[in-house]
Structure 1
Amino acid sequence: MNGVEASGLTKRYKERTAVDALSFAIGEGEMFALLGQNGAGKTTTIKMLCGLVRPTAGEARVMGHDVVRETAAVKAILNVSPQETAVAAKLTVRENLELIARIYGLSRAEAKARAEEMLRVFALTERAGDRAKKLSGGMQRRLSIAMALISRPAVLFLDEPTLGLDVRARRALWKLIEELKGRITIVLTTHYLEEAEALADRIGILSGGRMKALGTAAEIEAATGTASLEEAFLALTEEEATA
């Protein structure tokens, strides 16, 4: 079974086509990076896959569940770590984790146990009693991802997980993300090409709502006759940049 699959997935807003007939599949346990300039259609695609926006045409499935006809089932097996760090600033690190666990229906004892697990996995135990607002940007991003994982989703969408972080914090988060590979299906959106190349099993490049390339970094470079992923990305998105 694929973790995520789309066939002819399309979204139109009046005269504008934001996503144009996307067809692709992401294997269960695969880490997939979706690249594109601002306005390329990444956010709209993710919203459709999460059941937040209804497609104009085509279909998509998450772990075999149709995102339109089985929206509740889809939402129950996925989670999202948004670009904006989604933590409650006045709650402690542990309280943030326990709150999310309780929202997902865990008992008080289960929520405490799951929170302790996430604290350990994400190296947050020493800061468990600190209010989230006292954490550094990198630590807050770490907590945000831990909160997204506390429900043990089958599919996780990571939207710009390292945006605005310094090099050291970014590398530390890369290490944590790498450790998730193979355990769950991850869809990563990022503007950092080196991040996609370092973390993803495969990469999709969107431009103008269309999938311009799909494969490993090496396969995309070979298909475009370029020497690097950056050169390939620039070549594939040149039309959009000059539109």
Structure 2
Amino acid sequence: MRVVETVDLRKVYPNGVEALRGVTLSLGPRIPCIIGRNGAGKTTLVRVLSTQLRPTSGTARVMGLDVVKDRDRLRKLVCSVPQEARPMGVASPYEHVVMYLVARGWSFSEASRAARRALREVGLGEFMDTATDELSGGMKRKVFVAMAVAAQAELTFLDEPTAGLDPVSRLETWGLIRELKSNIVLTTHDMEEARTLCDYIVLLDSGRVVTEGTYDQLMAPLKGRVRVEGYGDLMVGRLRVSYMRPEEAKALLDEGLKVTIRPVSLDDVFIVNGLIPPSEEEGGEVDEG
């Protein structure tokens, strides 16, 4: 069964902003990933799919259920960890997880056991009774990951799950995500995270699907090439990016040209599609030759 299916999904906010502009998707089980820059529409899409927002038009089905018509049934099957979630400072991690599970219909005793187990799994065992306003930003983020671990939902939406985490905590969280028993839909602007965790990748920009496929499929147009960066004579101060075979790039260096040669990555999928990758503040002209 496809875990997510959308057809011409659109969301227009009351202020006129078009966050989703005809998104059509069919995502299979395990860990599909939606990548894109900030403002691409990733969070809005997750909020629609997890029934937190009503779409303006189009259709969306999650686990075979319509996000509008079957909203109440669907909410029992899915768990969402939103990017903008903020813990209540006076409540402890344990209290956060227990309250979340009880709200999902768990008994207090079941919620208590699951909360303690999940908090230990995410590395918050010794802090489970500490007020969250005394925790670091990364540890606060782990509280919400613990909610997802404890919920054991059929489908978990993770919106930027490692935002704000230090490198060690990020690797630990990746391990926890892989061990989750539920299906997962993950959004991120971290290309390393997408490459490491996801078996299918959708590139979203300005509320539209730009391209999609497995990592190998997305990288296929760049196979056997390297990324070459330099400054064109007619474009003073403007970075030019080209893709060429390694021997062609080496020839430029041999000619004494000042260029930088890099291996290609998911960032370059953005560039060849005419977009600025999330990791770069400034873009340049793209030459796909």
Displacement of 1:205 in angstroms is 0.2
Does 2:268 correspond to 1:231?
Answer: yes
* 5+ residue gaps, structure 2: 226-263, 278-282, 285-289
The more displaced of 92-101 and 11-20 is 11-20
The answer on 1:115 being equivalent to 2:80 is no
1:40 aligns to 2:16 (yes or no):
no
- Aligned partners of 1:175 and 1:237: how far apart in 2? 33
Q: Which residue of 2 aligns with 1:145?
A: 145
**1:134-170, Cα deviation, whole Å (9 max, x unpaired):** 2232222221111234332211111112222222222
Q: CA deviation digits over 1:107-133, x for unaligned, max 9?
A: 221122221221232232222222222
Q: Distance in 1 between matches of 2:136 and 2:80?
A: 21
Instruction: Indicate if the aligned counterparts of 1:193 and 1:229 stay in contact, CA closer than 8 A.
Output: yes
Correspondences of 1:35-184 after superposition (within 5 Å): 35-180=35-180, 183-184=181-182
Gaps of 5+ in 1: none
Larger Rg over CA atoms: 2
Q: Call closer, same or farther: CA 1:39–1:94 in 2, change over 3 Å.
A: closer
Confirm or deny: 8 A CA contact 2:122 2:173 kept in the other structure: no
Alpha-carbon separation, structure 1, partners of 2:206 and 2:57? 17
Report the identity percentage.
36
Count, aligned residues: 239
Say if 2:205 is the partner of 1:204: no
SS of residue matched to 1:2: coil
Please identify runs of 4+ aligned residues in structure 1 that moved more than 3 A: 12-17, 223-227, 239-242
1:72 CA drift (Å): 1.0
Cα distance in structure 1, aligned partners of 2:39 and 2:84:
18
Shift in Å, 1:224: 6.1
| Alignment partner, residue 26 of structure 2 | 25
- 1:40 maps to a residue whose letter is A
CA contact (8 A) 1:207 1:237 kept: no
Residue of structure 2 in register with 1:195 after alignment: 193
Compute the RMSD of aligned alpha carbons. 2.4
| Contact 1:49-1:67 at 8 Å conserved across structures | yes
- Please state how far the C-alpha of 1:197 moved relative to its aligned partner: 0.7
Question: For residues 187 and 150 of structure 2, what CA distance do their matches in structure 1 show?
Answer: 21
Query: How far does the alpha carbon of each residue in 1:201-221 deviate from its partner, in whole angstroms, 9 at most, with x for none?
Result: 111001222211111122111
1:220 aligned partner: 218
* Cα deviation digits, residues 149-201 of structure 1 (max 9, x gap): 43322111111122222222222222222222xx2121111111111111111
Q: Distance in 2 between matches of 1:238 and 1:95?
A: 43
1:208-243 deviation line (CA, Å, top 9, x unaligned):
22211111122111146673211112222528989x
Q: 1:115 to 1:107 in 2, by over 3 A?
A: same
Instruction: Check 1:238–1:124 CA distance in 2 against 1; reply closer, same or farther (3 A cut).
Output: closer
Which amino acid in the other structure matches residue 195 of structure 2? E
Q: Matches of 1:104 and 1:203 in 2, distance apart?
A: 30
Which AA in structure 1 matches 2:208?
R
- Tell me, in whole angstroms, the C-alpha distance in 1 between the residues paired with 2:276 and 2:163: 25
- Bigger RCO of structures 1 and 2 (CA < 8 A, at least 6 apart): 1
Tell me, yes or no, if the aligned pair for 2:141 and 2:164 is still in contact at 8 Å. no
